[in-house]
Chains A and B, each alone.
Chain A
Amino acid sequence: MEPKEKEQILAIQKGEPSLYSELISAHKNRIFGTLLSVLRNTQDAEDLTQEVFLKAYRNITRFEFKSSFYTWLYRIAINSAIDFQRKHKKMLKVSIDENKGGLDVLMKEAVNPKDSHYLLGFTPEQHELHAVLTASIQELDIDHRSILQMREVEELSYAEIAKILGIKVGTVMSRLFHARKKVREKLRQSEVL
């Protein structure tokens, strides 16, 4: 950890909230990226990023410099995303039951994400591959998606993932195994490769 960041955290722990904005600026994009990757919804990821920084501020006296500040924030973010998605899933189930058209809308959003300008240079095959991957990841539940993100993007070890989620290493391995297998099966079925 950089000495400057450590000083900032110590000052905030002693009651100087103004310094917190520098910490937010330093980490907001990666936290947002993580949340977007797990939640797969820009608005939810933005809202939850704010929540994560508020939660981190409330708990900042619990930060004991045993890890980097980003790692600590990352843990809060992943667990907040899982909590959020579980609550949201219950609400979503009710709304889909009430309006059967809701599921179609969700599927369209999954296959055609709004913020996909970068796709402009894609070939039709790449578009199709992107659509299949997006939809297959969307179909995974939050537990599998978050582990995929932690392993493939953050490249955390199984033990680190287990610690963050409070589960056994064997469970991490099993969830990762099944998440990858499901995505690969979708790719195989779609014959995009």
Chain B
Amino acid sequence: MNQHLKNCSWSEDALQQYHDKLLEKESVKAFETHLSICPSCCESLKSLKILKEFLYEEMRRAVETPSLKGLEDRVLSQIQEEKIIPFPTIIKPQALRFLNFSKGIAAAAIFLIALGGYWHFHNNSSFFMASTGKQGLCEVDYFYSQTQEDVVCYNVNNDTESSLTVIWVLDEMAP
């Protein structure tokens, strides 16, 4: 077990959260009070600060070191020599592509439902059967019909009257 945990009631987790400034306000006060009496926590906190300063200093030195001379030219000449071109289109990650695929499927389904609805209303016409005097709603097929009956048909969309071939009588009303 960690030496810190052996000697102290505060957890290692709390110590690191304090260092990261992620400890809640009430806990910060309590922890700071504890720090004044706990050499073990003070030492642990000091080592975290030293580590941070060390890494920060390393980065600062690396950034200030005059290296990478001519990198721009090397990159550009490699781009030219190897004829590297940026990817022409935005290719999204696999997950997003799947999302788009799902969206496409949904859009196609909505389109088909809408088309079906349009087809349904477009081809459902009110009819008046002159021979029997019956009237109602019928489904009309222009291309192939099996039970042909000549009727006077009123298109529900524009109220025009025409002679059509009826295949299904949907709703028949009494004359």
Contact = CB atoms under 8 A, between A and B. Distances in A.
A74 to B, nearest CB: 12
Contact of A50 (B64, B65, B74): B74
Contacts of B79: 17, 20, 54, 57
A60 B84 CA distance: 12
Contact of A21 (B2, B72, B90): B72
Q: Which secondary structure characterizes the binding site on chain A?
A: helix
Contact of B16 (A115, A177, A187): A177
A105 B56 CA distance: 26
A13 B88 CA distance: 9
Interface residues of B, number: 44
A153 interface: yes
Interface string A21-49: 10011001110111011000010011001
Contacts of B71: 24, 28, 49-50, 53
A60 B86 contact: yes
B97 interface: no
A36 B62 contact: yes
Interface in B9-43: 12-13, 16, 20, 43
Contact of A54 (B55, B62, B78): B78
Interface in A125-162: 129-130, 133, 137, 148-149, 151-153
B54 interface: yes
Interface in B86-127: 86-91
Interface stretch (A65-73, A78-86, A89-97, A178-186): A178-186
Interface residues of A, number: 52
B50 A187 contact: yes
B134 interface: no
Contact of B73 (A21, A133, A153, A185): A21
B148 interface: no
Contact of B62 (A12, A32, A152): A32
Given A33-B62, A53-B71, A193 B55 contact: no
B147 interface: no
Contacts of A32: 62-63, 67-68
Interface string B122-136: 000000000000000
Contacts of A37: 55, 58-59, 62
Nearest to A29: B63
B75 A187 contact: no
A187 B124 CA distance: 85
B48 interface: yes
Contact of A177 (B12, B59, B63, B89): B12
26 contacts: A17-B76, A17-B79, A20-B79, A21-B75, A28-B68, A28-B72, A29-B68, A33-B58, A33-B62, A36-B58, A37-B55, A37-B59, A50-B71, A54-B79, A61-B87, A62-B87, A64-B90, A129-B50, A148-B51, A149-B59, A151-B20, A153-B55, A153-B56, A177-B16, A181-B12, A183-B51
Interface of A: 12-13, 15, 17-18, 20-21, 24-25, 28-30, 32-34, 36-37, 42, 45-46, 49-50, 53-54, 57-62, 64, 115, 118, 129-130, 133, 137, 148-149, 151-153, 176-177, 180-181, 183-185, 187-188, 193
Given A24-B75, A37-B62, A42-B67, 10 more contacts: A17-B80, A33-B58, A34-B59, A46-B67, A50-B74, A54-B78, A54-B79, A115-B65, A133-B54, A185-B2
